[in-house]
Chains A and B, each alone.
Chain A
């Protein structure tokens, strides 16, 4: 196998001078779906924020290589343009910015950064409509302001819609299953599964096992107290479902 698409080595990070990530090692290959599971406070959201490049997180040691590049040295928009996508746990509401405008602006900003030609409004609309249909989303989504007044499930579906439109090479889904009812979960899972292909890696960060019933992972990693405590295959997730995280909690 060639070099993994994403390699995290001894990643240490602090928030407000408190060390939250205490030496994470993890690699994810193209074509792989990796699940990162862990109890509350284990560092899941810190890990996703560090990967996305949010301010307020200080990396004190280690490195993150993505497709041969130093991911941590890049601005958030550079990470996006090079194919990294973060589906946020709490997508932001942006009143006054129309979803279609936003998604097309994002797509074309990324294409411009990659020296590709812009997608015109008509082609964009065609693609957007097909994607919405697949996600069982109303076309009205395009005309609404970004996440403004959306229900929790609509926000999560909007993240999946953007992911589908932006076609990243590495997608990180942060607690995408939280707050979803069973129908929304199924739709989101269908959207995620449609993204699986040999060139793309998916990292699914979750507290619960239930999304993994629909999006079957190739690897499962348990994050506890800022480190990967154990790695395994799908069976590990099922085991956690039965036994809980007690074995990984600090004494």
Chain B
């Protein structure tokens, strides 16, 4: 299957490379070609690659998902805005900007809110500085021989990215209202891939809240979304990625963030699916005093599969990081959490914590948790905790003995289990939205079982 899959990607790249944003700009063409070459060299992810050991590799390579030419003729069901109150909104349908559905509003001076397509058309040089080469975000490797870790899907995304949101904020500027980026994927008969690329760059002292939402999808869809983030010195970004209940066959979502001195990245991931999700978050705390937070809620039912991976690399001293992950798995769904904290030799004074707990609602559900600490210096405080279990029978009985139905008691305990994660979101409107969405997805999970 792998050969046919690779051949399918080759055919797709050859067919659409001339229609992609930036086509005709020499450096873009060269970048895409080089990225595709890198992808071919790495090959599709397999379980033989340590980071993909628990990944949805079979779902990914089981069908030849290939990008298709834009098909604007078909109507898309675009959901109403998710965030209440003032917001900036960009909508992409099947990986391409939909002006009619978007409402960028009026961002303050010093904020550039645009799309990858527009940026490459208007100012390719600025884009070049932001995107860089496909391997730029690859981690420092202990040894290329023993720790080779291809990022084939990031490379493929670079080669095939059809569009995405771009948010550039100058030094000292705050985007007061959150940015809502919605990716709607339509149902499809033929297997289709959508490669989306978001770019976010905050100058020194800048502030922003960004919410990226995926909606729609069907069993024939693979979405491959990469978000490149740079957070300047003392800047703060809150970055929420949420799945509004899609039926997408495979959703790969990768966020890379580089943090300068005193920068803060606060990330939240909601994965809710009966398909397959791979959610990666890679933070590089490159300079002293950076703060990274990566939290997530994973909810899977049916034969769903969620593979969450975090890589937090503390490169410099006095960095802090926290990770709080909760997973609930129903039916025969499976979940995996691989969380790594790496403290490099120059990162003394690091304080890092990781906490992952999973609930299994049915005997057929499975979850594995793999926290990894790699500490290459002294004078650090790192902690990790993980546990997997069922809903607490004593707590269930206690609630029922007070008059709550079993269903209500289970729902209350599941809300309690995930609530602490959503509560970490700083922006009130975003937090309220995510709480509603999590409750909605928990309800769907509850009705899948018992």
Chain A positions within 8 Å of B, measured between CB atoms, are 52-55, 75-77, 79-81, 86, 88, 91-92, 94-97, 102-103, 105-107, 109-110, 113, 145, 162, 166
Given known A92-B392, A97-B416, contact A80–B402 (CB-CB < 8 A): yes
Given known A55-B393, A88-B398, A92-B392, contact A97–B404 (CB-CB < 8 A): no
Interface residues in B338-361 (C-beta closer than 8 Å to A): none
Contacting pair A105 B417 (CB below 8 A): no
Question: Which residues of the other chain, B, contact A113 by a CB distance below 8 angstroms?
Answer: 403
Instruction: Report the nearest B residue to A84, measured CB to CB.
Output: B401
Contacting pair A106 B404 (CB below 8 A): yes
Given known A102-B412, A109-B408, contact A92–B403 (CB-CB < 8 A): no
Question: Which residues of the other chain, A, contact B406 by a CB distance below 8 angstroms?
Answer: 75, 77
Most buried by A among B397, B401, B415, B417: B401
Given known A92-B394, A96-B419, contact A76–B413 (CB-CB < 8 A): no
Q: Does B400 contact A (CB under 8 A)?
A: yes
Inter-chain CA distance A96–B420, complex, in Å, is 7
Interface string of B379-393 (1 = CB under 8 A from A): 000000000000011
Instruction: Report the nearest A residue to B409, measured CB to CB.
Output: A77
Contacts across chains A and B counted by CB atoms under 8 Å: 74
Question: Which residues of the other chain, B, contact A53 by a CB distance below 8 angstroms?
Answer: 400-401
Inter-chain CA distance A113–B395, complex, in Å, is 21
Contacting pair A96 B415 (CB below 8 A): yes
Could you name 21 residue pairs across A and B whose Cβ atoms are closer than 8 Å? Answer: A53-B401, A54-B397, A75-B406, A76-B400, A76-B401, A77-B404, A77-B406, A80-B402, A81-B403, A92-B392, A92-B395, A94-B392, A94-B398, A94-B399, A96-B417, A105-B404, A109-B402, A109-B403, A109-B404, A109-B408, A113-B403
Most buried by B among A54, A75, A77, A109: A77
Question: Which residues of the other chain, A, contact B401 by a CB distance below 8 angstroms?
Answer: 52-53, 76-77, 79-80, 86, 88
Inter-chain CA distance A60–B211, complex, in Å, is 58
Contacting pair A94 B402 (CB below 8 A): no
The one of B398, B412, B420 in contact with A92, judged by C-beta atoms closer than 8 angstroms, is: B398
The one of B392, B403, B417, B419 in contact with A80, judged by C-beta atoms closer than 8 angstroms, is: B403
Q: Does B405 contact A (CB under 8 A)?
A: yes
The one of A77, A94, A145 in contact with B400, judged by C-beta atoms closer than 8 angstroms, is: A77
Contacting pair B419 A162 (CB below 8 A): no
Contacting pair B403 A106 (CB below 8 A): yes
Q: How large, as a class, is the contact surface on chain B?
A: 20 to 34
Contacting pair B400 A166 (CB below 8 A): no
Contacting pair A55 B397 (CB below 8 A): yes
Question: Which residues of the other chain, A, contact B393 by a CB distance below 8 angstroms?
Answer: 55
Inter-chain CA distance A186–B58, complex, in Å, is 65
Question: Which residues of the other chain, B, contact A107 by a CB distance below 8 angstroms?
Answer: 403
The one of B392, B402, B417 in contact with A106, judged by C-beta atoms closer than 8 angstroms, is: B402
Most buried by A among B408, B412, B417: B412
B350–chain A nearest beta-carbon distance, Å: 28
Inter-chain CA distance A77–B392, complex, in Å, is 17
B219–chain A nearest beta-carbon distance, Å: 34
Given known A81-B403, A86-B401, A91-B398, contact A105–B408 (CB-CB < 8 A): yes
Closest 6 CB pairs of A and B: A96-B416, A80-B403, A106-B402, A110-B403, A76-B400, A92-B398
Inter-chain CA distance A145–B393, complex, in Å, is 18
A165–chain B nearest beta-carbon distance, Å: 10
Question: Which residues of the other chain, B, contact A54 by a CB distance below 8 angstroms?
Answer: 397
Inter-chain CA distance A7–B98, complex, in Å, is 71
Q: A92-B392, A105-B412, A109-B405 are in contact. List 6 more A-B contacts (CB 8 A).
A: A52-B401, A92-B395, A92-B397, A92-B398, A94-B398, A94-B416
A45–chain B nearest beta-carbon distance, Å: 14
Given known A54-B397, A109-B408, contact A97–B413 (CB-CB < 8 A): yes
Interface residues in B404-450 (C-beta closer than 8 Å to A): 404-406, 408-409, 412-413, 415-417, 419-420
A67–chain B nearest beta-carbon distance, Å: 16
Instruction: Report the nearest A residue to B416, measured CB to CB.
Output: A96
Inter-chain CA distance A109–B406, complex, in Å, is 11
Question: Which residues of the other chain, A, contact B399 by a CB distance below 8 angstroms?
Answer: 94, 102, 106
Inter-chain CA distance A62–B417, complex, in Å, is 40
Instruction: Report the nearest B residue to A88, measured CB to CB.
Output: B398
Instruction: Report the nearest B residue to A105, measured CB to CB.
Output: B404
Inter-chain CA distance A204–B409, complex, in Å, is 27
Instruction: Report the nearest B residue to A81, measured CB to CB.
Output: B403
Question: Which residues of the other chain, A, contact B405 by a CB distance below 8 angstroms?
Answer: 77, 109
Question: Which residues of the other chain, B, contact A55 by a CB distance below 8 angstroms?
Answer: 393, 397
Instruction: Report the nearest B residue to A95, measured CB to CB.
Output: B416
B327–chain A nearest beta-carbon distance, Å: 15
Contacting pair A97 B408 (CB below 8 A): no
Inter-chain CA distance A79–B404, complex, in Å, is 11
Question: Which residues of the other chain, A, contact B397 by a CB distance below 8 angstroms?
Answer: 52, 54-55, 76, 92
Inter-chain CA distance A96–B397, complex, in Å, is 17
Question: Which residues of the other chain, A, contact B398 by a CB distance below 8 angstroms?
Answer: 88, 91-92, 94
Contacting pair B404 A94 (CB below 8 A): no
Instruction: Report the nearest A residue to B420, measured CB to CB.
Output: A96
Contacting pair B403 A94 (CB below 8 A): no
Most buried by A among B392, B400, B406, B420: B400
B321–chain A nearest beta-carbon distance, Å: 23
Contacting pair A77 B403 (CB below 8 A): yes
Instruction: Report the nearest B residue to A107, measured CB to CB.
Output: B403
Most buried by B among A52, A86, A96: A96
A92–chain B nearest beta-carbon distance, Å: 4
Inter-chain CA distance A103–B420, complex, in Å, is 20
B333–chain A nearest beta-carbon distance, Å: 22
Contacting pair A94 B413 (CB below 8 A): yes
Inter-chain CA distance A113–B400, complex, in Å, is 13
Inter-chain CA distance A102–B398, complex, in Å, is 11
Contacting pair A97 B412 (CB below 8 A): yes
